Amino acid sequence: KQEVTQIPAALSVPEGENLVLNCSFTDSAIYNLQWFRQDPGKGLTSLLLIQSSQREQTSGRLNASLDKSSGRSTLYIAASQPGDSATYLCAGLYNQGGKLIFGQGTELSVKP
Amino acid sequence: GAVVSQHPSWVICKSGTSVKIECRSLDFQATTMFWYRQFPKQSLMLMATSNEGSKATYEQGVEKDKFLINHASLTLSTLTVTSAHPEDSSFYICSASRSSAIQETQYFGPGTRLLVL
């Protein structure tokens, strides 16, 4: 069964800290791995997309890595800011079925 | 580019009524659209995949007679929740892609919050 898991479910950090969000997936036959941001009551904002042949992607203060062999992806946020407070979702796009399978999300709170 | 809108953004209805939610691709033609449901503090769960001009493919456990999906044009898909009940209260999000090819990006709408009283 294709499953995506995110730990922790919630995380609170002081402003300025670097932090890592974790995502694990059960089936290594993914086409790509995506990270999204969701603000309360809002839709999804795409942050980073890593193809299965890639190891990492960077955008500004965000860096996402992908290790297919271990079934893990991480989202690294440098110098966190209160504006980074949101729920972060990872999702694997699987070759079989071409479906996006989402993790449960990590609710991040960055305290000023 | 690649903007997806949903209407309404929120809706409150009485139990037993039907509610229609629209998903539109504003600046591109969307051959394929996806409908997701998200309960509070939970992840997005795919409900169904629709391709323009054909019947939607529903995920296991999703009642196709309760959640009617129509994808009659390349820019519009609708989800109708028939005979809504309080347990149908949820956040419904659609996404759209230019084709059904796996490499096509899914562009997400802003979501519709449904509250059934």
Tokens of B51: 């391709």
**What is the pLDDT, as a whole number, of residue A29?**
82
Stretch among A25-29, A87-91, B19-23, B58-62 having the lowest mean pLDDT: A25-29
Nearest-neighbour CA in chain A from B14: distance (Å)? 21
| Mutate: best of B4, B31, B43, partner A, most A CBs <10 A | B43
Q: Is the peptide bond before B110 cis (omega within 30 degrees of 0)?
A: no
Phi, psi of A91 (to 5 degrees): -145, 135
Distance between CA atoms of residues B35 and B81, nearest Å: 12
Q: Which of B102, B104, B112, B114 to mutate against chain A (most A CBs within 10 Å)?
A: B102
Instruction: Give B54's pLDDT tier (boundaries 50, 70, 90).
Output: confident
Kindly give, in sequence order, each residue whose CB lies less than 8 Å from that of residue A70, ignoring residues fewer than 6 positions away. Answer: none
Which position has the token pair 């997701």?
Answer: B36
Q: What is the pLDDT of residues B28-44, one digit of tens each?
A: 999 999 999 998 888 89
The helix/strand/coil state of A60 is coil
**CA distances, B32 to each of A56, A77, B95 (Å):** 28, 33, 9
Q: Among residues of chain B, what percentage have pLDDT more than 70?
A: 99
- Chain centroid to CA A4: how far? 10
Among B42, B102, B111, beta carbon nearest to A43 = B111
Q: Which residue of B has its CA nearest to A100?
A: B46
Kindly list the residues from chain B whose CB atom is less than 8 angstroms away from the CB atom of residue A104: 42-43
Question: Residue A96: its pLDDT value, please?
Answer: 67
Question: Measured between alpha carbons, how far is B109 from B103 in angstroms, rounded to an integer?
Answer: 19
Question: Which residues in chain B are closer than 8 Å to A46, comparing Cβ atoms?
Answer: 108
At B53 the pLDDT is 84
Tokens encoding A73: 């992806």
User: Least CB-CB distance to B108: which of A44, A95, A98?
Assistant: A44
Locate the chain A residue with the closest alpha carbon to B92: A43
For residue A93, give the nearest of B102, B109, B111 by CB distance. B102
pLDDT digits (tens, 9 = 90+) for A43-65: 999 999 999 999 999 999 999 99
A 10 A CB-CB count for B33 gives: 30
User: Which residues of chain A fall below pLDDT 50?
Assistant: none
Rounded to a whole number of angstroms, the distance from the CA of A51 to the nearest CA of chain B is 10
* Inter-chain CB proximity A103 and B111 less than 8 Å: no
